[in-house]
Amino acid sequence: MGAEAKVLPSGVGEPAILDGTIVIGAGAAGLAAAHALATAGVTVQVLEREGRLAGPWHRRHDNLHLNTHRDLSALPGVSYPAGTPAFPHRSAVIRHLNDFAQTHRLPIAFGVVVDEIEFRDDHWLLRTNTGLMAARHVVIATGRDRQPFIPAWKGMEDFSGSIIHSADFGKASDYAGKKVLVVGAGNSGFDALNHLSGVETGQMWLSARNGPSLLPKRIRKIAVHRISPLMARLPTRLADAAMAATQRLVFGDLTKYGLPPAPAGGASRLGSDYTAIAADDGAVDAIKAGRIIVVPQLREFRPGGIVLDNGQTIAPDIVIAATGYRTGLETMLGGLGVLDAKGVPLFNGAANDPKLPGLWFTGMRPSIRGCFANARIQGAAIARKIASRNR
């Protein structure tokens, strides 16, 4: 699928310039962008550092399901098979991404690691493990959850228990009989607690610096995510109010159980600090039943336990750090000045920097709609911009 490749002459010692777009990353955002570009008649090449599609999904834990509904989590032209649960399992997501790439015959080069990109007046030069490449446009779609992040807590190297990132959660059954501390009350933290609430663990704790923007997966038999397109059209202030009212109506006042209030509304935090909305599927009931005790922030590790900010000491067997991810883009983008202090691109989707024409980002921020719906929207918007400039 796509236009006939046009390769332009280059300078001495440099590669030929692709008169089109190189997409870096073959996740949902990269694949959606590549499909939209090819449909718009733009020559496209996708570079993927992994040896297969959906590498991160293959590595995630066996219990993982999407928090977004299948009808709003499909890429263009490909549907989930009949019988797929409302919230697809990671295996269904892996199959969906592969079906999408095969259906649209997307040109993907696997095992290509982009080390650095550089702007050269009218094109971009890419230094990769397979050599130099060049193109008029580059779309970076490497994902905002590329590198799991664990803070450097004091004393953690001497802790006698285990410390893992939520990305390495594994099987919920592995935690049977174990005392578990989850650090972080965001989307990943509640995902871990949702799964743990169905297992006969020892005592569980949740260390929360901020209260979450929290919604149930379902209200009665209605999947809450199905109303996300409507929520996304609301002004931020109204979306904040609607989510807060839903949270209070469904769960009551969670501060009574130790959860601190959220510092801002759910929609506001999506835009300000890129905090995704958490989904409850059993964790709140476990908190209310006392199976999960909400405690203050972690102060330091000691060989036999953990000291909290209030001076209390607890002794978990396992600490799950639901402490977020980093993009890992600092090396690739060098001194371009396009990243904030946390490595998140300063612009995303159809927006770009006029001083760096041809550089685009997609899939770098969370959305009320969810990552798949956002991938479709942003990919189409980028393709329109690039196609219009090529005319």
The DSSP symbol for 29 reads H
What is the rounded CA–CA span in Å between residue 137 and residue 126?
Answer: 11
- Tokens coding 86: 């409302």
pLDDT digits (tens, 9 = 90+) for 257-298: 999 999 999 999 998 888 899 999 999 999 999 999 999 999
- Across the range 130-158, mean pLDDT stands at 95
- Percentage of the chain surpassing pLDDT 90? 88
Phi-psi region of 21 (alpha: psi -120 to 50; beta: other; left: phi over 0): beta
* Cβ atoms 169, 315 nearer than 8 A: no
φ, ψ of residue 16 in degrees (nearest 5): -65, 145
What type of residue sits at position 373? Answer: A
Within 13 Å, how many C-alpha atoms sit on residue 288's CB side? 9
Lowest mean pLDDT among 13-17, 54-58, 240-244, 281-285: 13-17
Q: How many CB atoms lie within 10 A of CB 218?
A: 17
Angle at 370 between CA 368 and CA 373, to 5 degrees: 110
pTM: 0.91
The predicted structure's pLDDT at residue 63: 83
* Secondary structure (DSSP) of 296-341: --EEEEETTEEEETTS-EE--SEEEE---EE---HHHHTTS--B-T
15, 133 contact by CB (below 8 A): yes
- Beta carbons of 179 and 316 less than 8 angstroms apart: yes
Convert the pLDDT of each residue in 329-388 to its tens digit. 999 998 899 999 889 999 999 999 999 999 999 999 999 999 999 999 999 999 999 999
Question: At 304, is the pLDDT very low, low, confident or very high (cuts 50, 70, 90)?
Answer: confident
The predicted pLDDT at position 3 comes to 42
Mean pLDDT of 217-229: 92
